[in-house]
Amino acid sequence: MTARTLNEMLAQSVERYGDKPAFIFKGESTTFAQLEDKIEHCAAGLAELGIGKGDTFGIVMRNCLEFVILSFALSRLGAVAVPINFLEKADRIAYIFNDAEVKGCLTSKDFLRTIREAKESVPTLEHIYLRDPGGDEPALETIYRHPLNEAAGPEVSPTDLVLLIYTAGTTGLPKGVMLTQHNVLASVESCRLAFDLADKDRFMCVLPMFHSFAWTTNVVLPLRLGAMTVVIESLLPFQPALKQLWKHKVTLVCCIPQVYSALVQHVHGPKAFLLRLLNPLDMAVSGAAPLPAAVQMKFEKTFGTALLEGYGLTEAAPAVSVNPRYGTHKPGTVGLPLPGIDIKITDDDERELEAPEIGEVCVRGENIMAGYYKQPEETKEAFTADGWLKTGDLGFLDSDGYLTLVDRKKDLIIVKGFNVYPQEVETALVAHPAVTEAAVIGVPDSSGDESVRAFVVLEPDQSIKPRELIGFVRPSLASYKMPRDVEIVDELPKNALGKVLKRELRESAAKGA
C-alpha cells in the first residue's frame, strides 16, 4: 500500500525492518522500532503541551537523532516543523519565529543564548527545549517520557503542511516555503526511482538537516527504503566523517561541491590509493551549488566513484534533476528530470522556448510547494499562468533533455545591452591554477549600464595580481564579459550550505563606490 503521509511511510518501514538500525549517531545505533517508539512518546508529550494540528515548532540545532524524532512527532500531530539555519543571528530567527508564529523551539546549549534573545520579541514562543539534559531549559526527552495517550490522534492528510522552510533570503527577507506531506513523499519517491536504491544501501547525513536537500535525501529517503543512515553532527573536522564512511561502509553520499572538494584535499598519498581500493561508495550526488569540473574530476579519480551533479530548490522539496546513475553522464549539466517531474524553458512572456534556447527554468510535479506562507502575491508571482513553478534560474535543455544551468535570473548582468552570465566569468577565473573560488556581480553606474566586478579567493600560498587574472581570462571571454575590476579577498560571504551571498557583495561594492 502506498503511504499517504510520512508517518504511514515510517510505519511500513518499521513493520518490515523493525530490528534493523535506522540511524547511527555518535556510535550509538537506533533501530526502526526504537525510533518509532520515541516518536510515539514524543508526540504524546507534545499533545500534552497543547501542540496540535497546524501549530508550528522551531528547530535550531546541528544534526542529531532528536531532530528526526521531533520532526516526525510533529508530523504525527499534523503540526509543522520549522527548521532554521543555526548560524542565523537572533534578529533573523526572531523574524522567522514571528512570521511562523512558533509555539516552541528545540535547540542545544550552543545556541540557547541566541534563542533566548530572539524569544524576547516572539510572544507566541512558549516552550524551549534542549537536546541534552543538564541545562537551564528542560531536555526534549522529558517530553517523550509522557505515557501514551490511548485516544486517537488527529486525522493527518497528504495535503497538510509538514515543513515550513525559510529561504536563505539572499535578495531580501526570508519567505516560508510551505511543503505538504505529499510534496515530501513525492520528492522522496522521485529520488528512489532515479537512484535505483534499496534497503541494503547505507547513507551518510553530513549536510545540516535544516536544509531540504539533506532532509529529503539523507533522512526521509533512507527511512522510506529501510536503509541505515550514519548521522554526522558537524562537517568539521573532516577526518571523523571520512572514518565513519569507511567504518560503516556507506554506499551513498548526497552533498555540496565544497564538501567533495574538501574530502579530496584530505585524501592524498598512500591513503588515496588505499581509499580507492577499499572505497564502499557506489554513488555520490552533488547539488545546491554549481559543481566545478576540476572538483568532479579529482573526486572521481580519488574515490573511483561517479560524482553525479543534480539540481533542486527548496520550493521543489527539493529535487528536480540529476545525471542518471546508469547511462550517459554529461559533465556541466545537471542531468535529466527526475521521474514524475517536468521541466520547460520559457521567455519573459512565459512562452516555451525550443532547445537549446536560454530562458527561465520552470518545473512541474507533485513535489512542488503549496506556496509561500502568508504571501499570496509572492506565491502568485512564483508560478506561470498555467501552473509551472518559475525557479528564477536561467538555463537550457539540449536535444537529449539534459538541463544546463546558466545562472540565477536575478544575477544576470546587462553590459551595453548584452547579457553576461556570472557563472561563465567565474568558470573562466577558476580555471587559473592560483584561483580556488570566484564570484562575479554587476555594478551599476549612473547611466544605467553595468560593469563586471569579480571577487577572487586564491589557493593557499599563491599570489597573483588582478591585472594578470584579467589578462588570463581575456582569450576565453568576449570583451563585454571581461571583468573591469578584480578584487582579491580572503573569503567569500556564504550561507551554511556554502552558497555565495552575492547580495552582500553588491552591498559591499555599493559602499565602496
Band of pLDDT at residue 150, cut at 50, 70 and 90: low
Q: Is residue 117 exposed (0-12), middle (13-18) or buried (19+ Cβ within 10 Å)?
A: middle
Task: Sort strands 389-397 and 403-408 into parallel, antiparallel or unpaired.
Answer: antiparallel
Average pLDDT over residues 175-190: 97
pLDDT value at residue 495 = 73
User: Is the Cβ–Cβ distance between 345 and 358 less than 8 Å?
Assistant: yes
Residue 512 has pLDDT above 70, yes or no: no
DSSP 158-189: TTSEEEEEE---TTSS--EEEEEHHHHHHHHH
The lowest-confidence range among 106-120, 382-396, 485-499 is: 485-499
pLDDT value at residue 272 = 63
Average pLDDT over residues 333-348: 96
Average pLDDT over residues 215-229: 97
Residue 417 has pLDDT above 60, yes or no: yes
What structural domains and CATH numbers belong to the chain? 28-147+155-181 (3.40.50.980), 412-512 (3.30.300.30)
Q: Is the sign of the CA dihedral 26, 30, 34, 40 positive or negative?
A: positive
Residue 18 has pLDDT above 90, yes or no: yes
The lowest-confidence range among 72-86, 97-111, 431-445, 495-509 is: 495-509
DSSP 113-152: HHHHHHHTT-TT--EEEESSSSSSS-BGGGGGGSPPP-S-
Query: What is the share, in percent, of the chain residues with pLDDT greater than 90?
Result: 65
Residue 447 has pLDDT above 60, yes or no: no
Q: Residue 380: which residues within 8 A CB-CB, separation 6 or more?
A: none
Helix (H), strand (E) at residue 95: helix 90-100
Mean pLDDT across the chain, nearest whole number? 89
Residue 170 has pLDDT above 60, yes or no: no
Residue 290 has pLDDT above 80, yes or no: no
Higher pLDDT, 195 or 497: 195
Q: State pTM to two decimals.
A: 0.83
Band of pLDDT at residue 271, cut at 50, 70 and 90: low
Residue 394 has pLDDT above 50, yes or no: yes
Band of pLDDT at residue 496, cut at 50, 70 and 90: low
Residue 89 has pLDDT above 50, yes or no: yes
User: Torsion angle of alpha carbons 504, 509, 512, 513, nearest 10°?
Assistant: -140
Residue 273 has pLDDT above 70, yes or no: no
User: Is the Cβ–Cβ distance between 82 and 108 less than 8 Å?
Assistant: no
Residue 158 CB neighbour total at 10 angstroms: 18
DSSP 401-448: --EEEEEEGGG-EEETTEEE-HHHHHHHHHTSTTEEEEEEEEEE-TTS
Give residue 483's region: left, alpha or beta (phi > 0; psi -120 to 50).
beta
pLDDT value at residue 171 = 45
